[in-house]
Every structure is written in C-alpha cells, then in structure tokens.
Amino acid sequence: MMDSASVLVVDDNVDLMETFSMILKRRGFCVDTAENGVLAVDKFRRHHFDVILMDIVMPEMNGVEAFRKIRKMSPDATVILMTAYSEDELIKAALSEGAHRVVHKPLRIDTMVQIIKDAAMHQPVLLVDDDDDILTTMTHTLESQGYQVLAASSGEEAISLVENKPCCVAFIDVKLPVMNGLETCLRLKEINSGIKTIMMTGYREEVQPLIDEALAASAVTCLYKPFDPVEVIGLLSQLNKKRNYAGRRHEKQKEYISR
C-alpha cells in the first residue's frame, strides 16, 4: 500500500464514519468523508480516491446507486461496500457490476484496514515512453510477474490515464514529445502525491538537468537505457519492501504510543 493512499468513507452513521476516518488516518491513509451517496458522488467527481468504503443502506441515494454513478465516471474505481443488513439482491448486483468487495458490519478494525490495504495494492504500474518497442517489452515483463500495467506514449496520455485510474508507480521516459518527462512527473505528483516515479533515458548527458530536477522533486531514481527489464522487477520489489516496512514501523509506533 502507498502510505498516502486516499480513502473516501461514506456512511450516514456519522459516529461510525468519523471513527473509521480517525482509525484510517492513524494507519497512514489520507481520508475524506461523506454522509450519504449524493455527497460521495460529488466528492468523487472533484477528487479521484484510491479506495471508497461505502455503506449500502443510506437515505437519498443508497450505496449501490452511488457506486454505479461513480463507476460511470471512472470504470476502474475501487469501491468496497458495507452493510449490516441482508440486502442479497443489491449485493449480488453490486458484485456483478464490479464492486471490489462487500463486507458485513460489524467490522473488525484490523480486518477493515487489511481489506483497504489489499484494495490499494491492486493499483497498476504506469509506463510512459514514446518508444513502442520499450513499452511492449516492459509491459510483457511486468504482466508476466502479475503486475497490472497502463501504457502511455506521451505525457498527456499518461495524465489522462491517471486522472481516471490511480497508479502506484510510474516509469517515465525523460525525453518525450510536447510534454517532457519532468513535466509529466510533476503533473502526476499533483494528481497523486503518493505515486512513486522512476525516470528513464538513453540520453544521459543531454537531459541530466531534467533528471536532477526530477530527483529533487522526489523521483526515486533514473534508469539508463539500455537496461535489463529484470531491473524493473527488482526495483518494484524494493519499493514494495519499503512500503511494507514503513507500514510495519507505523504500526509499531502506534502500538508504543498507545501503551
């Protein structure tokens, strides 16, 4: 999970909603709330959340109706629905239409947090390069290791993809047409502050100033072409280990503070 993965908690039970919000914030998530489906749809329209945790039974607009409206805006939105009732038909309909999961109240806190972590971890890897051969090779390598991949041949296309589907990591070629890799990196960070960016280039000296600026803006590293695609897998594994370590450290700190 990205430490700053964003979650929208939707429940007409304000006390429960605020409790969930407080717990998730303590676990490292960026959290917003909505008291009904109408507000949830409006908030999603203005901000794309990594995960939506939403009650089914609510006044004005129930969770399944809100889920459908959100999926129309973003077909890949990750929505976890909650219910304390046996709404079999609504549950079946939601799952058949792409809800990530339906969970039943009361929820154990640790179970809820793990479900959200798992949902956030399903975010794809973004590849941005105007070289079709590199895109094809990297896509094949990542998909063979079980990663979901989004591929873009320009910065503009990459931004459009991320606006509609959150990504956990982006590999960005520095020398892109129109919008260069640095501009793309900075714009992706504006959309999703938690995204990890790795620059790529075959023009080490020519674009070094752009690389330096990207690294200063929190890019993880730069891969210099030609590189072995296996390096990409190794780098992703390192990033996953760091995220897992950060999560465990946060849990230990929370446990120590609570004593």
Domain ranges of the chain: 6-121, 125-245
pLDDT at residue 209 in the model: 94
Amino acid at 45: R
Domain 125-245 has CATH 3.90.550.10: no
pLDDT at residue 15 in the model: 93
Mean pLDDT of 96-104: 84
Mean of all residue pLDDT scores within the chain: 84
Exposed/middle/buried for 239, CB within 10 Å: 0-12, 13-18, 19+? Answer: middle
* Closest alpha carbon to 134 in 230, 225, 234: 225
pLDDT at residue 218 in the model: 84
pLDDT higher than threshold 90 for residue 256: no
Token pair of 222 as six digits = 């730069």
pLDDT higher than threshold 50 for residue 175: yes
Per residue, what are the HEC states of 165-234? CCCCEEEEECCCCCCCHHHHHHHHHHHCCCCEEEEEECCCCCCHHHHHHHHHCCCCEEEECCCCHHHHHH
pLDDT at residue 202 in the model: 92
pLDDT higher than threshold 80 for residue 144: no
pLDDT at residue 134 in the model: 92
Question: Which residues are CB-neighbours of 21 under 8 A, at least 6 positions away?
Answer: 9, 31, 33
pTM exceeding 0.75: no
pLDDT at residue 4 in the model: 62
pLDDT higher than threshold 60 for residue 254: no
The pLDDT tens digits of the residues spanning 145-169 come to 767 789 999 999 999 988 877 787 8
Task: Give the CA angle between residues 210, 214, 220 to the nearest 5°.
Answer: 135
Phi, psi of 171 (to 5 degrees): -100, 120
Amino acid at 187: R
Buried b (16+ CB within 10 A) or exposed e, 117-140: bebbeebbbbbbbbeeebbeebbe
As its CATH architecture, domain 6-121 has 3-Layer(aba) Sandwich (3.40)
